[in-house]
Amino acid sequence: MAARPNTQPLPALSGEVEPHLIYLKLAFIVQHYTPLATQAAQHAWSHVDSLAKLLEGEVDVRRDRATKSRIRLARFPVIKTLEQFRWDWPTRINRLQVHNHFHLECIKAKANLILLGGVGLGKTWLACALGHQACREGYTVVSLRLPRLLQELPMAKGDGRYPKLRASLAKTA
**Which burial class, exposed, middle or buried, applies to 160 when counting CB atoms under 10 A from its CB (0-12, 13-18, 19+)?**
exposed
Which of 21-35, 87-101, 154-168 is predicted least confidently? Answer: 87-101
d(CA 33, CA 30) in angstroms, rounded, equals: 6
Predicted structure pTM score: 0.75
Q: Where are the domains of the chain?
A: 15-74, 76-141, 145-173
166 Cα distance to chain centroid: 23
pLDDT in tens, 63-85: 999 999 999 999 998 899 999 99
Q: Which helix (H) or strand (E) holds 39?
A: helix 27-43
**Which burial class, exposed, middle or buried, applies to 37 when counting CB atoms under 10 A from its CB (0-12, 13-18, 19+)?**
middle
For residue 9, give the DSSP letter. P
